[in-house]
Amino acid sequence: MLGYFDDQTATELSFNRDGWFMTGDLARFDERGNLQIAGRKKDLIIRGGHNIYPVRIEDYTLRHTGVAKAAAFAVPDDRLGERVCLAVIPRANKAPAAMELLQHLSDQGLSKYDMPEFFLELDSFPLTASGKVLKRRLVEMVTQGLLKPQPVRWQG
């Protein structure tokens, strides 16, 4: 690997002491021994010590016919550290209601401990040059008060 452009420190920090490149991917082996990518370490949400994988929430959300794009990200919380916010871009300008989405997530098998506690409907997401959602920008926008997520609570 050549390294990060013009950033030797970042290049050096990307390898562990045994020379392995640390990708930042989180993975697990399933019951058949297959490796499954669960998400990115940077995206992991830790709510009161419980690890929540945004990619799972996003995958389940995208199975809803009314959702074109989804992003689950952490919002800071004084008591629990972080809570889950689910932002969606609707199909045909008609997003499902927040409680409808929570019911959908439950029907898909999402644990009540992983349920989003905040909801946003947006027209677009901030994106990188390669088209990936800039979740850290969404977090900044919430923290700065530019976005105001609606609190939601799953009662199921």
Burial 29-66 (b: 16+ CB within 10 A, else e): eeeeeeeeebbeeebbbebeeeebbbebbbebbeebeb
User: Does CATH place domain 43-151 in 3.30.2130.30?
Assistant: no
Task: For 44-90, write each residue's pLDDT tens digit.
Answer: 888 999 999 999 999 999 999 999 999 999 999 999 999 999 999 99
Domain boundaries, the chain: 43-151
Answer for the pair 24, 6: CB distance below 8 angstroms, yes or no.
no
CA 102, CA 116: separation in Å to the nearest integer? Answer: 8
Percent with pLDDT over 70 in the chain: 90
Residue 113 confidence (pLDDT) above 60? yes
pTM: 0.76
Residue 23 confidence (pLDDT) above 90? no
